[in-house]
Amino acid sequence: MNSPGLRLVFAGTPEFAVPCLEACRTSGAEVVAVYTQPDRPAGRGRKLTPSPVKQAALAAGIAVEQPESLKSAEAQQALAAYRPDLLVVVAYGLILPRKVLAVPRLGCWNVHASLLPRWRGAAPIQRAIFAGDSESGVDLMQMEAGLDTGPVLLQRRTPIAREDTGGSLHDRLAALGAEVLTEGLRRTLSGEQLAATPQPEDGVTYAHKLDKAEAKLDFSRPASELERQVRAFDPWPVAEGEIAGELLRIWAAHAIAIDHRAAPGSVLATGRDGIDLACGDGALRVTALQRAGGKRIGAVDYLNARPELRQLR
């Protein structure tokens, strides 16, 4: 026997959360409101810009709430006034106090882009690539007061390929997140109570927020690590490194096994395949980069602009 209609409030902010909002809209549940972060300055003009989730909600005709915090009694009363059966949270960016977690009849669900308890926190997608993990995934989790500590309701897994970037894995996990949420809502709407599996105590790691200072490549490290750093930080914050005295954004590169005695960061060779830079172990072959004030270009175009480097073989 089907359960009565489900009143749902959705909380999310970035592009990653938009497929999950769409999954809620098409699930058969009633999305009565969307919570998202306040408009922030963006772009060269620093114009106040609505979040991707706000834009999607307005296009769908859903009421939008943008409190700076959910800690005040007023904000909590406003949420309670929507009488939600369930609050779905996807990359919202605000902490939910205990009183908020207690508002919905069925509690709060979170779609998190990692295989918990690995990579709790703000940047699980990039941290998984940077660390060299062989797989990632998404968890549908019942929220509790701790940071991503709640029991897991459903899970989807995906391998991390050597060519994956932060951007490509982000897009795949956003789609998987919508899939796992769709299944959870379908089963709940049919009257099923999802089994909640506590997270294991072993294997907890934290995915700390990305910092632009982390973008600088340290060529004394192994080339394999730098390759992962370049992939993880595409499209943001984008790795940075010097080539023959010029600081550049490094968009694409891969490690090559080569023995050398050159100083870290030295240009070993250049050619159609890229620019080989000496690392603590092996070399990093740079294939796409960006000069200050310029656009992303291939290594060959860069070498055409620096003919002194084209002599290196």
Residues forming the annotated binding site for (6S)-5,6,7,8-tetrahydrofolate?
114-117
- Write the single-letter amino acid at 233: F
SS3 157: strand
Contact 172, 19 (CB under 8 A): no
Give the residue numbers of the binding site: 114-117
With tokens 């070993």, the residue in question is: 268
- Write the single-letter amino acid at 30: E
**Of 132, 151, 156, 130, the residue nearest 141 (C-alpha):** 151
How far is residue 30 from each of residues 110, 141, 224, measured CA to CA in Å? 18, 21, 48
Measure the CA angle with vertex 265, ends 261 and 266; round to 5°.
Answer: 60
Contact 13, 51 (CB under 8 A): yes
Using a CB cutoff of 8 Å and minimum separation of 24, what contacts does 61-65 make? 62/25, 62/31, 62/32, 62/33, 62/34, 63/32, 63/33, 63/34, 64/33, 64/34, 64/35, 64/36, 65/33, 65/34, 65/35, 65/36
φ and ψ at residue 43, rounded to 5 degrees: 80, 180
